[in-house]
Amino acid sequence: METMQEIVEMGQQYVMNTYGRLPYAFTNGEGVYLYDMDGTKYLDFVSGIAVNSLGYGNEALINNLNDQMHKVFHTSNLYWIEPQNKLAKKLVENSCFDKAFFCNSGAESTESALKLARKYGNMVGGPEKCEIITMKNSFHGRTFGSITATGQTKYQKGLGPMLPGILYAEYNNIDSIKALASKEKTCGIMVEPVQGEGGVIPADPQFMKELRDLCTELDILMMVDEVQTGVGRTGKLFGYQHYGVEPDVMSLAKGLGGGMPIGCMLAKDFCAKAFQPGDHASTFGGNFLSATAGLTVLEEIERLDLVKNAEENGAYLQAKAAELAKKYDFITEVRGKGLMQGIILTEAELVGKIRVEAAKRGLLIIGAGYTALRMVPPLIISKEEIDQGIEILDQAMAAVAEA
Ligand SMILES: Cc1ncc(COP(=O)(O)O)c(C=O)c1O
């Protein structure tokens, strides 16, 4: 077997240079821990960026995937796929939506939502009703549609022109949306219940309520991007459930597959019907393996009471991080919902330095926005494991403060 250094060098030579990677390569995982090629153990506050909701080595996920692999991996969406139907049923029964469409990633679920909004606009208002409003500082993916929807120019640099008909409003500012929205022109408004990549910024309850009212008044689809917040992450099964509103469309990916690639768009019947056969498709979307993973993740979340764990241990994680804020002047705020927490720092360069010092000491953590350290551990994490992570983070911060 190659050494970790050899793997790093091979990657540098052959893999396209699109990520700022740390020089680690992992071989296996157990619970909330990953092990690198040298056998060193790391507590994982990253979860493959809010993906590995059940942690590593979940028996049900392994067994169900193994059973399915021995039957069939893939047919086509030209036939019915039993686990896909069961996953759709479970998602619908546990949300305010009526129908599901499956794809393979978060960006594709954004694309699906953008396309559904345009189709809906056409259906109820004609071709003029085609504008979509998204939020500044949002993140919705990397395809041309989803990167246009992403309200951050840093991701769009050098890629223009962007998709026409997408307008940007201020997050948590309903007046800024009202200034752009109209019944004649706007077909959809997309919002993250907690902006993730933008720096872990929760939506304001009043904002979400007023957004719902505005969308109803002007016959605009209220679309929540729950790629990061969905499937238990924030201490509710879906992030919108914190706000007492029912959106019309929701996109999911990341945590839904527990590590298997899957994306999903859910919609209420009144707008889902804007898609007819041939309007949208995905070869792999909801195939036997990814759908089995999604179904098992939801079953395990229920069986292990992981939404409650995310709520309770998320609050614990926030409280523990707030103790660090008392100790280090460079922490300005701790914010988030459930097991999606951000520690906000005074300077962007501190994020990278703390990440490096934490990894050296056996804790994986990531950044978000410019100045946030983001903590999105597996939903199975215990209080003891959180204590352990905070202890390492404390040491890493002390090392950075002393340097
Ligand atoms: C809110 C949100 N939407 C969409 C995406 C894109 O997902 P993917 O990388 O699976 O395409 C992300 C990824 O970080 C996200 O956080």
| Residues 6 or more apart whose Cβ sits within 8 Å of residue 403 | 353
**What pLDDT is recorded for position 391?**
98
Terminal CA-CA length for the chain:
37
Distance 44 CA to ligand 1 centre (A): 19
Q: Is 226 in the pocket of ligand 1 (CB under 6 A)?
A: no
pLDDT along the chain (403 residues), means of 10: 92 97 96 96 98 98 98 97 98 98 98 98 98 98 98 97 98 98 98 98 98 98 98 98 98 98 98 97 98 98 98 98 98 98 98 98 97 98 98 98 93
| Residues 6 or more apart whose Cβ sits within 8 Å of residue 13 | none
| Region 72-303: CATH code | 3.40.640.10
For residue 107, give the ligand 1 atom closest to its CA. Answer: 11
For residue 263, give the ligand 1 atom closest to its CA. Answer: 10
Q: Is 243 in the pocket of ligand 1 (CB under 6 A)?
A: no
| Region 4-58+305-402: CATH code | 3.90.1150.10
For residue 138, give the ligand 1 atom closest to its CA. Answer: 1
**What pLDDT is recorded for position 1?**
78
**What pLDDT is recorded for position 233?**
98
Distance 256 CA to ligand 1 centre (A): 12
Which among 321, 135, 161, 303 is positioned nearest to 223, based on CA atoms?
Answer: 135
* Main-chain phi, psi angles of 127, to 5 degrees: -65, -20
Domain with CATH 3.40.640.10 in the chain: 72-303
**What pLDDT is recorded for position 75?**
97
For residue 197, give the ligand 1 atom closest to its CA. Answer: 16
**What pLDDT is recorded for position 13?**
98
* R_g over Cα of the chain: 21
Q: What angle do CA 14, 18, 23 make, to 5 degrees?
A: 70
Q: Is 36 in the pocket of ligand 1 (CB under 6 A)?
A: no
Q: What 8-state DSSP symbol labels residue 385?
A: H
Q: Is 197 in the pocket of ligand 1 (CB under 6 A)?
A: yes
| Residues 6 or more apart whose Cβ sits within 8 Å of residue 320 | 386, 387, 390
Distance 227 CA to ligand 1 centre (A): 6
Distance 98 CA to ligand 1 centre (A): 23
pTM: predicted TM-score of the whole model, two decimal places = 0.98
Distance 254 CA to ligand 1 centre (A): 7
Domain with CATH 3.90.1150.10 in the chain: 4-58+305-402
